[in-house]
Amino acid sequence: MSTAKDLEANLKTSQSSSLVSGENYITASSSSPLTQDGHKQSHFQAFKDSFKKLEPVIDESELPPDATEAERNAFILQNTPLQKSLKTRHLRMIAIGGSIGTGLFVGSGSALATGGAASLPIAWTIVGTIVFCVIHALGELQCMYPQAGAFSAHATRFIEPSWGFAMGWNYVGLWIVVLPLEIIAASMTVTYWNDNINPVAWVTIFYIAIVSINLFGVKGYGEAEYLFSLIKLLAIVGFLILGIVLVCGGGPEGGFVGGRNYRDPGPFTNGFKGMCTVFVTATYSLGGTELIGLAAAEAENPRKTLPSALKQVLYRIVLFYIGSLTLISLLVNAQDDRLLGSSSADATASPFVIAINNAGIKGLPSVMNCVILVSVMSVGNSAVYGGSRTIAALAAQGLAPKCFNYIDRMGRPIFGILLNSAFGALAYLVASEDQNTVFAWLMAITGLSVIFTWMSILICHLRFRMAMKAQGHSLDELPFTSQAGVLGSLYGIVWLVIFLGVQFWVALFPLGSSSANAKNFFQNYLGAIIILAMYIARKLWSRKLNEFIPLAEIPLDVGRANVDIDLLAQEMAEEKAILRTKPFWFRVYKFLC
């Protein structure tokens, strides 16, 4: 009988010879440091050559002659020459802290004011359970098909190309708008310390910094997010400890807090309608979690690294979001004028800063503002990454101009980065008096983007499972199985449909108004109309009104990360056998993390 050491040795040997590690993908490499005549290449020349196109080696003879459009798209995405250099620590930090930004630190303040104290833990708990289902559904798909474009590519494969087109451009549009907003937010955060400097100067600094990070390729993005997320996590852990002390009356000022803000003004400030408005804010604040799906396509070994990172998303939601916002609901009064007295980009409106100020603690508000600044930079960095990778995948499928499929020798979708950077220049509207009006309508275009993206992921997961069953495949073939399962995807879809319904209601009849408000409706619901328009326009342009893919025709074998199913099963069995030899505490740890 094999010992644990023998099994570990066999497992390492089989992994080195299998395709599980992603050897069937073309990996980008930098330009050679030597010229053709053998002389050492200058750093400038090497930098210039790194922008040359890296041609993927695609042998279409591997495709059957009668390959469908979905199979062809899946095969092309399988061979997209992105660098696979993200390590386990990068994915874990992206999963834990990647989406923590202004939605939590600043946006939660307006949610507290409109919904009341109890609305924060209730809304973020419900949305958190949805995120858990979404992330695990996406993880199951990405471990099976770790392709560029992630959810937009899955929509093309499991639903139809027109829906993939609408979802992809919807997601690109979201990040195009978010980037200048985050740059403006960063410039406004700095005014907390000095408001005498023209914010245009700060916009320039942050704009250059964010674009420069992404020019270092996926490794630059990964290292930056690792550092940004680490800072955010340390800050939130510190606030959790401080918040418990302040609630118990341990601060210099304020005395015992307890649940007084739940008694006065009460748990809900605007009734059921106020509670409904908070769901949208909670969804926006947790948006970006799905970026880990895009990052998985550039990970060294998604089957190994992605499941571990996904399991930690739940702890992030419970501890960092629900924990910190529960403390905020206790420490900050929902009727505090400072929550609504500043613009959404102004860090002085952050309930975290207000809670610390109320306790009379000197110095810490500046520290929290530094954290908010880091969070803004992190979201801006993710905006360029997410937008550029999504549009590159769309171009690879013929759903965007071909130029966006240009991947250089460092694995950068350079034209996608340039597109995002060009729209990032909208941040200079900070000098205009009409900036709020412009961005209100820009956000209206993609205001429901996160809800539709999550819903599309869950529908793809359901269609994937149904296709597996219809084509006689077993769940044992899956490298990673969603802990939420099919029921989790159904649960998430039901809640997201409810969110769309209540958002329609509060958009048409906003708080404090008994009559319909057309302007408010379009500013909050225009995104749904835009998505529908893109979907219909793509169908009319392609002249293919019926593109819906039957379950029996969904390509389940093209683009798989694990071509040899028997070898995968052997490796997974050996991993389980090794795990059984470990102590109980280690097995519990591996199950949870």
Burial (CB count within 10 angstroms: exposed 0-12, middle 13-18, buried 19+), residue 466: middle
Using one digit for the tens of pLDDT, what is the confidence trace for 423-472? 999 889 888 877 777 777 777 777 788 999 999 999 999 999 999 999 98
pLDDT for residue 534: 92
End-to-end CA distance of the chain: 29
Task: Please state, in angstroms and as integers, the Cα–Cα distance from residue 84 to each residue in 95, 308, 439, following that order.
Answer: 17, 17, 35
Closest to 167 in 3D by CA, of 456, 529, 545: 456
pLDDT for residue 464: 94
The alpha helices in 248-345, defined as continuous H runs, are 260-263, 271-286, 291-296, 302-315, 324-331
- 299 three-state secondary structure: strand
Asked if residue 50 belongs to a domain, the reply is no
At position 439, the amino acid (one-letter code) is: F
- 80 three-state secondary structure: coil
CB 443 within 8 A of CB 178: no
How many Cβ atoms are within 10 Å of 347's Cβ, its own excluded? 27
**Enclosing domain of residue 170:** 67-561
Cross-strand bridge partners of residue 85: none
Question: Tokens in use for 481?
Answer: 């199985």
Residues of the chain with confidence (pLDDT) below 50: 1-32, 341-345
pLDDT for residue 581: 80
Asked if residue 352 belongs to a domain, the reply is yes
Asked if residue 48 belongs to a domain, the reply is no
Burial (CB count within 10 angstroms: exposed 0-12, middle 13-18, buried 19+), residue 241: exposed
CATH, residue 512: 1.20.1740.10
Asked if residue 5 belongs to a domain, the reply is no
CB 215 within 8 A of CB 412: yes
CB 357 within 8 A of CB 367: no
Asked if residue 18 belongs to a domain, the reply is no
Q: What is the longest distance spanned by two Cα atoms in the chain?
A: 80
- Element housing 284 (H / E): helix 271-286
Using one digit for the tens of pLDDT, what is the confidence trace for 464-488? 999 999 998 888 888 888 988 999 9
Model pTM?
A: 0.86
CB 117 within 8 A of CB 330: yes
pLDDT for residue 5: 47
Asked if residue 115 belongs to a domain, the reply is yes
How many Cβ atoms are within 10 Å of 363's Cβ, its own excluded? 7
Asked if residue 274 belongs to a domain, the reply is yes
pLDDT for residue 22: 37
DSSP 28: P
Asked if residue 217 belongs to a domain, the reply is yes
Domain count within the chain = 1
- 209 three-state secondary structure: helix
